């Protein structure tokens, strides 16, 4: 039982990171129907920005987190402007290939400048361990969960109560109607990329602190898994992405913790396929009927 709770704690911190990335996927998919394959790489860039700030300046991890979020937000908006906006009325497959192109571009540009080798984060935060009933919790894990919760709370507030947030929901419902209501659709989509990318930047820094190692291809797998999390929770649904992310994190650590570590990736994709077959709209997604 002790082991179970230990895995639960580990899974919760991993899952919070997935949730932060999944939010970007789900918001972008909700608003323009694109699987933004480059999103995992925005998270990678975020990790590197955090690395630069903490290594080359005296700033602590909090400024690093904020600078990384701002950088990624700008990057996300630029990607949408340059690569996705011209294709908004093209086929989905053309948009998807473009997203893959952007993903490769980010990965290999980073590799060109920073090399392929794994880099380790400087220790910006003393890691203290607490033991509660035999379960070990590190201060970093607490930090990750707390920061994730704060960011998700902020996001929820923005989407629910601000003008831009309401515009986002309107645009995700119907572009044309939103436009007729006087909403600037282009700016709203930019804003969505801004929010999602900022969260990915935060996730990048948190992962750097937690796992202490980053590399240019680090965004690929977590990116895919975060997408799985978004689908699991119900793509387009913000609370769905949060719950999906946490659940995927917990399931993955459970599978790894109970002897299936070699199959942890397979387990995540197995869940994806099960969800798609049993309930394609996900846990909290809305069902869509097809009109003939």
Partner 1 sequence: MSRLSLKNSSNAASPMRVVTTKNLIILGVIAATFALVWLLRQLGIVTSVHESTLALICINIILAVSLNLITGFTGQFSLGHAGFMSIGAYTTALILLRFPTVWGFLAGLVIGGILAMIAGIIIGFPTLRLKGDYLAIATLGFAEIIRVVFQNMEITGGPSGLASIPRMASWPWMIGLTILTILVINNFINSYRGRACIAIREDEVAAEAMGINSTKYKIIAFALGAFFAGIAGGLYASYFYFIAPGKFNFLTSINVLVIVVLGGLGSLSGSVIAAVILTVLTTMLRGFTGVNNIIYAILLIAMMLFRPKGLMGTIEVTDLLEKLRLFKRKEQVE
Q: Which residues bind partner 1 (CB under 8 A)?
A: 33, 35, 83, 86-87, 90-98, 100-102, 104-105, 107-109, 111-112, 224, 227-228, 231, 262-263, 265-266, 269-270, 272-273, 276-277, 280, 290, 292
CB-nearer residue toward partner 1: 77 or 105? 105
Cβ(144)–Cβ(210) below 8 Å: yes
Q: At its nearest, how many Å lie between partner 1 and the CB of residue 117?
A: 14
Q: At its nearest, how many Å lie between partner 1 and the CB of residue 102?
A: 6
Report the sign of the C-alpha dihedral through residues 263, 266, 272, 277, in that order.
negative
CB-nearer residue toward partner 1: 29 or 210? 29
Q: At its nearest, how many Å lie between partner 1 and the CB of residue 72?
A: 19
CB-nearer residue toward partner 1: 193 or 227? 227
How far apart, in Å, do the first and last CA atoms of the chain sit? 53
Q: At its nearest, how many Å lie between partner 1 and the CB of residue 229?
A: 12
Cβ(285)–Cβ(235) below 8 Å: yes
Of the candidates 156, 47, 58, the residue with the CA atom closest to the CA atom of residue 106: 47
Q: How far is CA 18 from CA 52, 115, 163, 164, in A?
A: 23, 26, 27, 25
Tokens for 85, please give them. 């906006």
CB-nearer residue toward partner 1: 258 or 269? 269
């Amino acid at each position: 039982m002790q082991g179970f709770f230990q895995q639960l704690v580990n899974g919760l911190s991993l899952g919070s990171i997935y949730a932060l990335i999944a939010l970007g996927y789900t918001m972008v998919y909700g608003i323009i129907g694109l699987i933004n394959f480059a999103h995992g790489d925005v998270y990678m860039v975020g990790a590197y920005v955090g690395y630069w700030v903490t290594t080359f300046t005296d700033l602590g991890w909090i400024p690093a987190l904020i600078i990384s979020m701002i950088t990624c937000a700008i990057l996300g908006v630029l990607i949408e402007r340059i690569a996705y906006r011209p294709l908004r009325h093209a086929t989905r497959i053309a948009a998807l290939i473009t997203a893959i192109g952007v993903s490769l571009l980010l990965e290999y540009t980073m590799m060109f400048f920073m090399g392929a080798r794994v880099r380790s984060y400087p220790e910006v935060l003393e890691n203290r361990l607490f033991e509660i009933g035999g379960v070990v919790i590190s201060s970093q894990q607490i930090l990750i969960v707390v920061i994730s919760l704060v960011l998700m709370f902020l996001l929820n507030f923005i989407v629910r109560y601000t003008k831009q947030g309401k515009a986002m929901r309107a645009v995700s419902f119907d572009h044309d109607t939103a436009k007729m209501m006087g909403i600037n659709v282009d700016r709203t989509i930019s804003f969505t990329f801004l929010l999602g990318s900022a969260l990915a930047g935060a996730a990048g820094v948190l992962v750097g602190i937690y796992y202490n190692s980053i590399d240019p291809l680090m965004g690929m797998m977590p990116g895919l898994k975060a997408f799985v999390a978004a689908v699991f929770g119900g793509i387009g649904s913000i609370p769905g992405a949060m719950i999906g992310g946490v659940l995927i994190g917990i399931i993955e650590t459970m599978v790894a913790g109970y002897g299936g570590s070699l199959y942890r990736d397979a387990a995540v994709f197995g869940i994806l396929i099960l969800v798609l077959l049993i309930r394609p709209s996900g846990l909290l997604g809305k069902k869509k009927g097809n009109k003939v």
